[in-house]
Chain A
Amino acid sequence: EDKVVQSPLSLVVHEGDTVTLNCSYEVTNFRSLLWYKQEKKAPTFLFMLTSSGIEKKSGRLSSILDKKELFSILNITATQTGDSAIYLCAVAGRRQGAQKLVFGQGTRLTINP
């Protein structure tokens, strides 16, 4: 059964801290790993990773994938209160000819001023 596990499930830090969110997976016929940020409504796309060892960056956020160890991390530096959200990791795999996106439980990140 396909599985995506995120840790920690919840994290509370002070503004300015750096955080690392983890995502490990077991998925049939891995295609890509995606990170999303969810505030009040639908998730918004952050990164899509397909190759090991290549860091993707967007401002204070960065992410990297290790396909050998089957995990990814999402880093946020100099955190701000606006970074408070649920961060979702999802893995796209292919099973029985169909591609599907399986989500982890999410990490609820709270940034205190």
Chain B
Amino acid sequence: GAVVSQHPSRVICKSGTSVKIECRSLDFQATTMFWYRQFPKKSLMLMATSNEGSKATYEQGVEKDKFLINHASLTLSTLTVTSAHPEDSSFYICSARDSRGANYGYTFGSGTRLTVV
């Protein structure tokens, strides 16, 4: 089945530094990838939609200069949290949609727990 690899699974960084999270579709091509943020005991909040070869579409209230998204190839999207602050600490999950069509569904990465100290 479809597999999405997300790396790193856990990262601790100092306030003011930047952190890059990678999301790779391993056995399928993903023209669209999604980045979510999940707060404790809450559901997934869509941050942005990442389209291969074009600019990401950000949801209302998400700062595009703070959460930089790059989707350089059909199998890789990256999320960079710039100038991280403690309030950015959260669980970030990516999801990829198989480009073969809607019937193939959406597959999630294993998530990245970011702690900013």
Contact = CB atoms under 8 A, between A and B. Distances in A.
Interface residues of B, number: 25
A105 B45 CA distance: 9
Interface in A9-53: 31-32, 34, 36, 41-45, 48, 50
A100 B49 contact: yes
Contacts of A31: 102
| Chain A: interface size category | 20 to 34
Contact of A43 (B34, B49, B102, B108): B108
A104 B43 contact: yes
B43 A103 contact: yes
Given A42-B111, A99-B32, A92 B49 contact: no
A108 B36 CA distance: 19
B105 interface: yes
Determine the main DSSP class of B at the interface with A.
strand
Given A42-B109, A42-B111, A102-B46, A92 B102 contact: yes
B82 interface: no
Contacts of A43: 44, 93, 108
Interface of B: 6, 32, 34, 36, 41-46, 49, 51, 57, 93, 95, 97, 102-103, 105-111
Interface of A: 31-32, 34, 36, 41-45, 48, 50, 88, 90, 92, 96, 98-106, 108
